[in-house]
Structure 1
Amino acid sequence: VLLAYDFSGILSIIDVGGGEGKFLRTVLELNPDMKGTVFDMPSTIETGKQRLNGNPCGGRYSTIAGNFFDLVPAGADAYILSGVIHDWDDDHGVRILKNCRRAMAANARLLLVEMVVPEEDGNCFSKLLDLNMLVMTGGRERTQSEFRALFDAAGYKLTRVVSTLAPQSVIEAIPS
């Protein structure tokens, strides 16, 4: 997934809902000029710190504890949410995205790493994944049009969807 997206021009990134930080550490390993921060719940941040051996990525990695339903830290060139929005219904998804928007500068980018399901009804696999998300978390998989609607409601413009070799795509948006 990460090799498909061009991170050039991004010097700082916040991984919103980034868990223990494995995804962000991979991003930083692939982009040696970038600094990154994982933002997640205090208990998750603490667990991640306990599992780390020293400071990864040459001191370019940091953590902030908090709740993305309350606020998101400001000041990054990009905000990435990997597998976060599909955990939530539209109302909660828009709330998370609005909090990211409030933290973003006018020239920042929002990156979602999510499955983009086909617009037509023919894909049985994507329907099963959608049903699984509904049952497990109350969330859902979404089409490109549904992501666009979330972005519109939260103050973004969908700029592109980057397909990858994995089932997930990188969905890029900018403040509108």
Structure 2
Amino acid sequence: MKKPYLLFFFAFTTLLSCIESKQKKNLVSEITNASKPKTISLIKQEEIDSILPNKSNTKNESDRKSPITIVKSSLSKNLYSDHKDIKIIFKNSGKKAIKAIKLEWQCLNSFNEHANGRNFYGEGTFEGKSTSLLKPGQIQIKTWEDFSTDASKITKVRANCIVFTDGTKWEIQ
């Protein structure tokens, strides 16, 4: 009578240890890949029309002519450190497919001073790159991890260099 219970207990504990081992392995994988920008998803135009702004909130004329429209940006606290992550949603509003984008963003800390960078010194301006193909009208979400130690507010996000699949380049002047 004790053998079936013992067998069940042994099988159950073995199964639990396998699940815990897999969770630890996934966490280690996430931490080792943390410094790489992650493509979270590509979204179809129809699914995202509701969150697109009706008018541009950029003040610089050259930003309005950019083939990239910044849809949304947000900060989040990192789960395993005190550094902040930034998530930027952007759309290819041009007519050409894009091969690479260099994005730039500016942040302030709680004292309205320039936010510190990854290495604890004052910068305020940060940069990220995306090399994922972005077709006309397509929207992409990218997250850059561990970019700041004290950022609390994003003041500006823009694309400052865009390389198209045909080899041409767009840059802010």
What TM-score, normalized to structure 1?
0.22
Give the strand-richer structure, 1 or 2.
2
Give the helix-richer structure, 1 or 2.
1
Larger radius of gyration: 2
Q: Which has the higher contact order (CA 8 A, sep 6+)?
A: 2
